[in-house]
Amino acid sequence: MSESTESKSYFDGGVFDNFITSLVVSLITTITLGIGYPWAEAYRQKWQVKHTVIEGKRLTFDGTGGQLFGNYIKWWLLSIITLGIYAIFFMPVRIQQWITKHTFFEQK
């Protein structure tokens, strides 16, 4: 029994492109001492989502670093106030929620 192309889920990004994307994200984050992280994360998500197909439907990502920046600063302030607890337990979840909020099926 064969699956039709429309029901397949796959990732079509390449190893080299993934390496370059990760390198750019790391450099942006390091050079800016973390301030550029929101833009780097948006760049990473655009690349990953662009190469993801779920049940035959390609995904798209519409988030920007500017949209994430305000929350990012707020989350870091909360992390300072809570002596890092917010950064460890809550920030990864908040970032994933933001990513999910800005990920959609591509409209043809």
The rounded mean pLDDT for the chain is: 94
Q: How far is CA 70 from the centre of its chain?
A: 16
Segment 73-93, tens digit of pLDDT: 999 999 999 999 999 999 999
Segment 56-76, tens digit of pLDDT: 999 999 999 999 999 999 999
Asked whether the predicted pLDDT for residue 40 surpasses 90, the reply is yes
Alpha-helical runs (H) found in 32-89: 37-50, 65-81, 85
